Structure 1
Amino acid sequence: MRVAVIDLGTNTFHLIIAEKAGKELEILYKTNVPVKLGEGRINDNIIIPAAFERGINCLKDFSQIIADYQADKIRATATSAVRSAENGKDFVDAVNERTGITIETITGDEEAELIYQGVKLSGAITDLSLIMDIGGGSVEFILCDTETLIWKKSYNIGAARLMQQFFKSDPINDGDKNAILFHIQNQLTDLFNICEKHQPKMLIGSAGAFETFAELIIRENYLKADINTAKTFAFNFDDYIASSIKLINATHKERAEMPGIIPLRVDMIVIAALITNYVLGRSKINSLTLSTYDLKMGVLASLI
Structure 2
Amino acid sequence: MATHYTWLITGASSGQGAEIALAALRAGHSVVATARNTASGKAAYPDIEKLAGVWATLDVTEESAQSTVEKLVAQHSVNVVVNNAGYGLRGVLEDLNMAQIRAQMETNFFGALAVTKGAIPAFRERRSGTIVMISSASGFSGTPSQSMYSGSKFALEGVSESLADELAPFGIRVLIVELGAYRTPFQTAVDKPKDDISEPYKGTTADKTAQRITPGHGRQAGDPVKAAKAIVEVVTGTGRGADLQDVLRLPLGKDAVTRAYVKMKSFSDDIEKCKELAEWAVFDVPYDGYPPL
TM-score by length of 1: 0.32
Structure number having the greater helix percentage: 2
Q: Which of the two has greater strand per residue?
A: 1
Query: Greater Rg, structure 1 or structure 2?
Result: 2
